Amino acid sequence: MPPRKGLSTKAIVTSGIILIMVMSSLGFILQNAGGGAQRFGKYKFSPSGSGTWTVKAQGQQFEVFFLPTQLADIGLEDGMTQKLRAPVLVASIDPPPLNLTRLDNAIGLVSYQYVNELPKLGTEVVLALGSAPGEDALPSLRAMPVISCGNATPEVPVIYVRKGDSTGFHLEGDCIVMEAASEQDIYRLYDRMLLSLLGVMP
């Protein structure tokens, strides 16, 4: 089980490096969504004005980057969404490089979104690193917990958000590996998982 004593999720998320990654992603978001409201079954997706969409589900407002019709090609393995309904979840990322790419920025923003959105569904999300940062890393990174797929348990599963040569999800025990080859695809994966959790998509 990951260490929780003395750990402040809010303090971790607002560390300097994560904020830089989030702010650097805004260019993509601002040019993404457009047009009027769209319906998907009983759910209404409304443009937020900042390039994302908002949808009301389970009595709460949620923010997504894409519409369900743009995510239909992404599959989920049985049991994945159930793992994300655990009381505590770890969102783990690789230590960000000093020279951030657009995909690195997107991974930072998606991690922030998990921390921001899943508590609305009763899940506390702890942000962590999948491996120890180098000696030249920023102090804010060295202060973060190191929690990898090897630490995942049924009680505290891990979602590991990373770069990869392909795009999709796969399970490694109690760890959901979410990897993408592009900035756009990391947002699509996040939306696919969230909309499944909300019951908007199967």
Q: What is the DSSP string of 54-72?
A: EEEETTEEEEESS-GGGST
Q: What is the pTM of this model?
A: 0.84
Counted domains in the chain: 1
With H, G, I as helix, E, B as strand and everything else as coil, classify residue 171: strand
Strand-pairing partners, residue 88, are 124
User: Tens digit of pLDDT per residue, the chain (202 long)?
Assistant: 444 443 444 444 434 445 545 544 444 544 455 578 999 999 999 998 778 999 999 999 999 999 999 999 999 999 999 999 999 999 999 998 878 888 998 999 999 899 999 999 999 999 999 999 887 777 778 888 999 999 999 999 999 999 999 999 999 999 999 999 999 999 999 999 999 999 999 9
Q: Is 105 domain-assigned?
A: yes
Whether 55 is covered by a domain: the verdict is: no
> Phi and psi at residue 63, in whole multiples of 5°?
-110, 130
Is 60 inside any structural domain? no
Residue 64 belongs to some domain of the structure: no
Residue 7 tokens read as 């750990």
Q: Is residue 62 part of a domain?
A: no
Inside any domain, residue 78: yes
The pair of three-digit structure tokens given for residue 22, joined into one six-digit string = 């989030």
Q: What angle is formed at CA 191 by the lines to CA 164 and CA 55, rounded to 5 degrees?
A: 170
- The answer as to whether 168 is a domain residue is yes
Domain presence at residue 36: no
List the domain range (segments joined by +) for residue 96.
Answer: 9-29+71-197
